[in-house]
Structure 1
């Protein structure tokens, strides 16, 4: 156990006991040192809950790290009294109950990670609205919690400094609000594994700094849309396992920063635009399980960096282009369940 005598260190400002094998019940009284600014107990096997008076015990706390520690119970509403908090890390515990709207009173908060708990919210996810008071937010992670709500339009009023918004596998329903396009400095948007419906809002094109875009495993319909092509810094795009239809935008080949394209398990029905051959740094191309048609363009032979290409379960016809043999880094190639004809090109023997 953590020795209670630590509380005698009344001048202590930073306490880091992370990544150990401390066990026993968490006794907040051992932190009864009013000068403590940083507490980290991440990755231990403690038990217990956060007491309602934790902010009285830690009035000057600025950074509080307590993930992977087996915490139970709720996040106390009185968390708002920890007014100096900039980082609150409570991920991968066993916390339950509502995410308190009082988090919105933490106006200095920059980093909030509540992922991997059993936290809930009301239908309007009102805690997101309360967090718009924190104007310095850079990272918000609420993933893997059964929130069962709908994204409010107010999410567009979150901090303009927000870099990462992670809310995968939260049972979020409804539409993606157009206001998401206001988060102009986002680098990472992950809303995968939810129950989102409707189309991808055209305002996504305003997120000009976006590097990773993940909406996979939802129920989205409509087209991929040319507005995606405004994301000129995009590295990874995950739109697989939805109900997207129509064609693959020709302009996708203009996003030369792309490393991975995941569009499998949709209802796309176009051919592969030859412009995809411009993506010379592309590592993964997955267009499997769609209704795509036409020839495999010889330009796919320009994808020299590619290691995985899955074009299976489509309606591609005619022959396999001999240029595919130039893909010397390819480790996984699937062309199964198509309408390809003719001979396998000799160029493939050198792959």
Structure 2
């Protein structure tokens, strides 16, 4: 009848036992910050009550497409960051986890293109895919359909092209990080009108150009602004940053 398993921040080594799938009432699994290796057991995908799976900061490897069963309406938090996971992101990741609120896949070795399937992740609030090995491509425009999104981290992902204008209409966004990509284009002149809660906006080490929008001064919740190592031109805009 175990519902909550928390073994975070220990010195546990070896594989995650396949018998974990026998714990049919589990709702949360926390195994982060250990030295676990091997693949994620396929049976974890059969835990129909599971709402949170946290396996970050381990040595796990393998293709999540072949180990995780993407068919769970209960899963809300999937955190697999800082491992050695490979392969392409499954195209049914949102349809399989329709109530997903948090998706951490950063610091792995995922490849292929970032799929354009995000319209199905209607509940997603936190999306972090940074530091992977994705193919060159654009920021998926469908991310603009995530009306509840608060945190979007995509640095070091080989991204190119312009930021989809739809992203600047997500009024819930607080943090945006697109550092160290090959993005270009201009920032929208009125980019802050639809982002009243924006606190972090950083696009360092890209190829953006044009003028710095004066409307950034209207981002009254802004705490961090990173624009360096781009190609902005013209008279420097007056920028007001308010610290709480």
TM-score (norm. length: structure 1):
0.66
Q: Deviation at 1:304?
A: 4.3
Q: Could you say which residue in structure 1 is the equivalent of 2:33? A: 92
Q: Does 2:128 correspond to 1:184?
A: no
Q: Could you say which residue in structure 1 is the equivalent of 2:103? A: 165
Taking only aligned residues, the RMSD between alpha carbons, in angstroms, comes to: 1.5
Tell me, yes or no, if the aligned pair for 1:217 and 1:241 is still in contact at 8 Å.
yes
Aligned residues: 242
CA distance in 2, matches of 1:250, 1:162: 33
* 4+ residue segments displaced more than 6 Å: none
Q: Could you say which residue in structure 2 is the equivalent of 1:271? A: 211
Q: Deviation at 1:159?
A: 2.7
2:45 to 92, 101, 104: 104
Q: Could you say which residue in structure 2 is the equivalent of 1:11? A: none
Cα-to-partner distance string for 1:2-54 (whole Å, 9 max, x where unaligned): xxxxxxxxxxxxxxxxxxxxxxxxxxxxxxxxxxxxxxxxxxxxxxxxxxxxx
Q: Give the number of the structure whose residues are more often helix, by fraction.
A: 1
Unaligned runs of 5+ in 1: 1-59, 307-328, 330-351
Residue 69 to residue 258, structure 1, CA distance change in 2 (3 Å): same
SS at match of 1:176: coil
CA distance in 1, matches of 2:61, 2:29: 18
* Higher Rg: 1
Tell me, yes or no, if the aligned pair for 1:110 and 1:134 is still in contact at 8 Å.
no
Aligned 1:98-137 pairs, distance under 5 A: 98-122=39-63, 125-128=65-68, 130=69, 132-137=70-75
CA distance in 2, matches of 1:212, 1:245: 21
SS at match of 2:122: coil
CA distance in 1, matches of 2:66, 2:166: 29
TM-score (norm. length: structure 2):
0.94
